[in-house]
Structure 1
Amino acid sequence: MKKYLINLSKYLGMCVLSMGISSHALADVIFSNFGPGYTYNVSSGNVVGDGFDGSIYSEGDSFAPIQNAVFGSLRIALSEVFPGSQGTSLTISLTADSGNAPGAVLESWLLAPGSLGLLGNNNAPVVLNSSLNLMLLAGTEYWITASLGGMGNAVAWNWNSIGDMNAHAINDGSGWFSPSGMTPGAFEVDSAASVPEPSTLALFGVAFAGIAARSRRKPRHPGAR
């Protein structure tokens, strides 16, 4: 029995070791300008939608991965400016860069009307998961943009609270103006969670097959042949 337990430990150890070799951490932060614990400026932000000055605004903030990574999810701090001001769907997009401004849309999400908390509250950042899992290239500039149509509809992209001043872009309907010099909104881009590679799964199969075979083997009594 003792020998069996030792061999079982060896099999399990092989499984753990193979996992460490063949897969990466579950998810890595590609970019973030949140403070500790996803903190941000709860009382101020850049207006998305009606600026109540005759213009409808879209906002964009840039980031550049420090290494190649598969895009997994976006976490973004958004709030209604006043109750009911998110009257239509809010569009959030990941875009390519075009002359230091947002360019071609790579992936988009729609946030239903009334889905955000009110400005001034410590609302949980919105989490948007990628279905395309695009490869983001190291050192390449990308943008996160937010737009909301219709007069009277206004959302705030809450400012970051750590002093990040990456390029920010604003569009009042006449095209993107960048860099605007405005404080970027708070957001985080995470890589996709990795899964065990086929070779790892195969090793698991071999290991557990060995465990099963050993558990079926009957112990030999002294003197038995």
Structure 2
Amino acid sequence: MRTQSVAMLGLVVICLASASPSKADTIFTNLGPGQSFNPNGGWVIGDCCSEGPGQVFAFPFIPTQTATFTDATLALQRISGPSPLNVEIQTSSGGMPDAILDTLTQTMDLSPIPSLVDFTCSTCGVLNAGTLYFLVAQQTNPLNVASWGFSNSQIDTAFFNENGSATGPWTPNTGPISAYELHGVAIAPEPPSALLLASGLIALLAVGYKRFV
């Protein structure tokens, strides 16, 4: 009977491990409490300046955990034009944006009121914890204009260009960082506490079995 108990408890542990559902975690955010941001200002994406057909911005982030990237949420406002934004995850080289890693798809139209807009990708790559990446936004039509709202407080060095290119050349800009949040499915999540508890029970039961054989 004791042997059967040990076997059954082991089966429970295996079931607990295999039944843990994958879910998207927040791997970076500069949004405030309740996903808040500054609705009173932001960087222009699109037709902005006299030097070129469209302004593009690249903002830095470092994931808090290694994860398969799933989606992003950006604080955006439509100023003119209906075209969706092109948004990419880019690697870094020398602290600057480098190669496109993931391309995202806008899931809803931009509103004339500052609001959070979701972007998803169908074939997402793995983002490594502690590694610098960039989130880049570009107008599909460089004559259209959107505002990417500021975070409540983050100041950092971002990069921009005014020639409508998602791949530079880039000019550094130290100042307010626009607001966004990134999600992904962790590659190696912490083991559930129930699994650890069940493992401990197996060990105790096994010791008791040996003692009374």
Q: Scaled by the length of structure 1, what TM-score is found?
A: 0.67
Aligned counterparts of 2:161 and 2:93: Cα–Cα separation in 1: 14
- Unmatched 5+ residue regions in structure 1? 1-9, 195-225
2:28 is equivalent to residue 38 of structure 1: no
Aligned with 1:167 (options 140, 157, 164): 157
SS of the aligned residue for 2:16 comes to helix
Aligned counterparts of 1:193 and 1:75: Cα–Cα separation in 2: 18
CA contact 1:72–1:193 (8 Å) conserved in 2: no
Q: Which amino acid aligns with 1:192?
A: V
Aligned with 1:177 (options 167, 171, 180): 171
CA contact 1:73–1:192 (8 Å) conserved in 2: no
2:100 aligns to what? 105
Bigger Rg over Cα: 1
Count of matched residue pairs: 174
Q: Note closer, same or farther for the CA distance 1:22–1:166 as it changes in structure 2 (3 Å cut).
A: farther
1:6 aligns to what? none
Q: Note closer, same or farther for the CA distance 1:127–1:193 as it changes in structure 2 (3 Å cut).
A: farther
SS of the aligned residue for 1:103 comes to strand
Q: Which residues of 2 match residues 24-173 of structure 1 at below 5 A?
A: 26-55=23-52, 56-81=54-79, 85-111=80-106, 115-118=109-112, 121-123=113-115, 125-150=116-141, 152-161=143-152, 163-173=153-163
- Unmatched 5+ residue regions in structure 2? 1-7, 188-213
SS of the aligned residue for 1:182 comes to strand
- Structure with the larger strand share: 2
Q: Note closer, same or farther for the CA distance 1:45–1:132 as it changes in structure 2 (3 Å cut).
A: same
Aligned counterparts of 2:177 and 2:98: Cα–Cα separation in 1: 18
Q: Which stretch shows the higher mean deviation, 52-61 or 41-50?
A: 52-61
After superposition, what is the alpha-carbon deviation per residue over 1:80-133, rounded to whole angstroms, capped at 9, x for unaligned? 12xxx1343321111111222221111113448x91011xx352x111223223
Task: State the 1:54 CA deviation.
Answer: 4.5
